[in-house]
Amino acid sequence: MLLTSENYYSQEANRDYLSVSQYKDFMGTYGKPGCEEYALAKLNGTWAENMEDSDALMVGSYVDAHFEGTLDVFKAQHPCMFKKDGTLMAKYLRANEMIQRCERDELFSQFMSGQKQVIMTADLFGAKWKIKIDSYHPDKCIVDLKTCQSVSKVFYHPDTGHLNFLDEWGYYIQGAVYQKVVEINTGKKLPFFIAAVSKEKEPEIQLIAVEQSKLDEALVNVERNTPKIVALKAGRYTPMRCEQCDYCKHTRVLKSPIWSSALIGEV
């Protein structure tokens, strides 16, 4: 199957290729546990993500669409965000402030001025992968745009301690896969950057250089986990349920009562 911007997110493409977001559905990140059965249900089309169109989420999507150059399509798909005159409703105006903040910074704009939405594929660790790069500077670097709550927000987990938003949401994994797929296609190992903008009242921007050691570490995990995902997608394993996600809540069938001590698990 030849990937295009039209079929990139199609079910057929998702079944044929592994993507970073699929990988994260299966394996999870610190911020969102993985769930094999949920990931497969999404791929099979038996579970549609309940896109709670929270205002913050919509703001992020609008900013993404702007930098992708797909704002026209986005407007057609989300008419409820706009007033009759075609301008953004008041509660979404933050999106414009974020975009303006990004574009009045010369370096940020330079990083975002590469080739937009570049699709590449590669065989890696026994899977066919697909990636889509926000801003690709051939021979120079790979840049991904991220909207976030706060650039310097700290996430705490008892087993790992304090994490930044890249670790929390699996962006090291994304950087590792993107860098490797580009390297397989071009022979060049390029640095990976995150161009971040926060959704705060005063949007904060930052260009984040991702340490190679972090990418190497993430790629080792991708290598370890990919064969299991390939086997799951091929139906050679019975998927595990996380019993925490919306899919698991929706599909749970009670068999017998549980002890109260099992309610919060091991803390």
Query: Comparing C-alpha atoms, which of 43, 33, 26, 42 is closest to residue 239?
Result: 26
Stretch that binds Zn ion, among 55-63, 74-82, 147-155, 234-242 (CB under 5 A): 234-242
Tell me the residue number closest to Zn ion, measured at CB: 35
Judged by CB under 5 A, the stretch of 17-25, 34-42, 65-73, 140-148 that binds Zn ion is 34-42
Sequence-ordered list of residues with C-beta below 8 angstroms from that of 163, at least 6 positions apart, any chain = 30, 154, 155, 156, 157
Distance CA(36)–CA(241), nearest Å, equals 6
Report the C-alpha gap between 204 and 102 in whole angstroms. 9
Q: Should residue 245 be labelled a site residue for Zn ion when binding is judged by CB under 5 A? A: yes
**Among candidate residues 73, 78, 98, the one with its CA nearest the CA of residue 89:** 78
**Size of interface with Zn ion, in residues (CB under 5 A):** 5
Of all helices (H) and strands (E), which one includes residue 209? strand 205-209
Per CB under 5 A, 39 contacts Zn ion: no
Q: Cα–Cα distance between 236 and 229 in angstroms, integer?
A: 10
Question: Which range of residues in 20-28, 77-85, 173-181, 247-255 is near Zn ion by CB under 5 A?
Answer: 247-255
C-beta of 170 vs 203, nearer to Zn ion: 170
Contact set for Zn ion, span 87-106 (CB under 5 A)? none
**35 vs 219 by CB, closer to Zn ion:** 35
Instruction: Report the nearest approach of Zn ion to the CB of residue 246 (Å).
Output: 8
Binding mask 188-227 for Zn ion (x = CB under 5 A): ----------------------------------------
Report the residue from 17, 23, 38, 192 that binds Zn ion according to the rule CB under 5 A.
38
Q: How far is the CB of 137 from Zn ion (least distance, A)?
A: 38
Return the range that interacts with Zn ion (CB under 5 A); candidates 117-125, 161-169, 228-236, 240-248. Answer: 240-248
- The token pair that represents 18 in the structure block: 């592994």
Cβ burial, residue 206 (10 Å; 0-12/13-18/19+): middle
Provide, rounded to whole angstroms, the least separation between the CB of residue 244 and Zn ion. Answer: 6
For residues 238 and 220, is the Cβ–Cβ distance under 8 A? Answer: no
Rule CB under 5 A: is residue 41 a binding residue for Zn ion?
no
Q: Provide, rounded to whole angstroms, the least separation between the CB of residue 43 and Zn ion.
A: 14
Question: CA 132, CA 134: separation in Å to the nearest integer?
Answer: 7
Residue with Cβ nearer Zn ion (28 or 191): 28
Out of 20, 35, 41, 59, which residue is the one contacting Zn ion (CB under 5 A)? Answer: 35
- How is residue 80 annotated by DSSP? G
242 binds Zn ion (CB under 5 A): yes
| Position 248 contacts Zn ion (CB under 5 A) | yes
Which residue, 46 or 77, has its beta carbon nearer to Zn ion? 46
Say how far apart CA 230 and CA 209 lie, in whole Å. Answer: 31
Footprint of Zn ion on this chain (CB under 5 A)? 35, 38, 242, 245, 248
